[in-house]
Amino acid sequence: MKSTLAILLVVATGAVTACSTGHVARLPTYKLEALRAEALRGLPPEETGTFRASDLVEVTTLDPTILLDVRYATRDNFLHWPVYSEARVFLQRPAAEAVVRAHKALQPQGYGLLLFDGYRPWYVTRIFWDAVPPEQRDFVANPDQGSKHNRGCAVDLTLYVLATGREVEMPSGYDDFSERAHPDYGGGTAAQREARDLLRRTMEAQGFTVDDIEWWHFDCRDWQQYRIENVAFKDVAARQR
């Protein structure tokens, strides 16, 4: 997700208004279900040109010591509603293999990678876009353009401590919509900044670039070579059998 200082809050009437604190956009479940139904009827934007064949792989099948915390499969996300039916992370194979290399590079320092999100079907991007009012859409991807997540070339992740499995503290939490999420934010503790910068250096060494407003979001350098996809997780998994 794209970050913003403006946050959404549903008031007692069910309307969505801007607020300066808290997380984002609690819409009634029936409205979110309607948005899902509409998004599933939609079609991704048409793209022209030559693209690589999709080769989405489940990252944990390459290295099961990589941990997952797929919050979009739970209510612990900015919509407070599960948009994924399964807690799985897929990436295009080169990106997945680069994540594994980064994970292995961290191990001598006592850390591993904890993944929040990877490939995201296009219809989910459409839900995110439709769930917020137009004046707040600067922090969600436009479905008319698609996102790097839709191409299987973006990953959201953090560090965990190998010895305990505990998530490492960063200057902000995941999907924090404030300046604390910026990769160059100067606040927080020295230890938090060091951990964030270690993650960035490690991912950049494997060819990823960090998002300019989200320390946890990294893009594969070859993302332009893959099409926007709209395939459900279960169907991606079926391709691999």
Residue 17: pLDDT band by 50, 70, 90 thresholds?
Answer: very low
For residue 40, tell me if it sits in a domain: yes
Q: What pLDDT is stored for residue 134 in this prediction?
A: 76
Q: What per-residue string of b and e applies to 124-152 under the rule 16 or more CB within 10 Å gives b?
A: bbbbbbbbbeeebbebbbebeebbbbbbb
For residue 1, tell me if it sits in a domain: no
Q: What pLDDT is stored for residue 25 in this prediction?
A: 55
Above pLDDT 70, what percent of the chain? 87
pLDDT tens-digit map of 104-136 = 999 999 999 999 999 999 999 999 999 877 766
For residue 24, tell me if it sits in a domain: yes
Give the SS3 label for residue 96: helix
Active-site residue identified among 33, 47, 167, 214:
214
For residue 193, tell me if it sits in a domain: yes
Q: Residue 143 is part of a domain; what is its CATH number?
A: 3.30.1380.10
Residue pair 62/205 in contact by the 8 Å Cβ criterion: no
Closest C-alpha among 103, 34, 13 to residue 66? 103
214 is catalytic: yes
Give the pLDDT mean for 193-203.
98
Please give the residue range of the domain that contains residue 151.
Answer: 7-239
Give the pLDDT mean for 41-45.
95
For residue 20, tell me if it sits in a domain: yes
Q: For all residues of the chain together, what is the average pLDDT?
A: 88
Residue 60: pLDDT band by 50, 70, 90 thresholds?
Answer: very high
Q: What pLDDT is stored for residue 102 in this prediction?
A: 98
Q: What is the pTM of this model?
A: 0.88
Q: What pLDDT is stored for residue 117 in this prediction?
A: 98
Instruction: At 23, list the tokens.
Output: 């997380």
For residue 83, tell me if it sits in a domain: yes
For residue 2, tell me if it sits in a domain: no
For residue 158, tell me if it sits in a domain: yes
Look at the chain and report how many structural domains it folds into.
Answer: 1
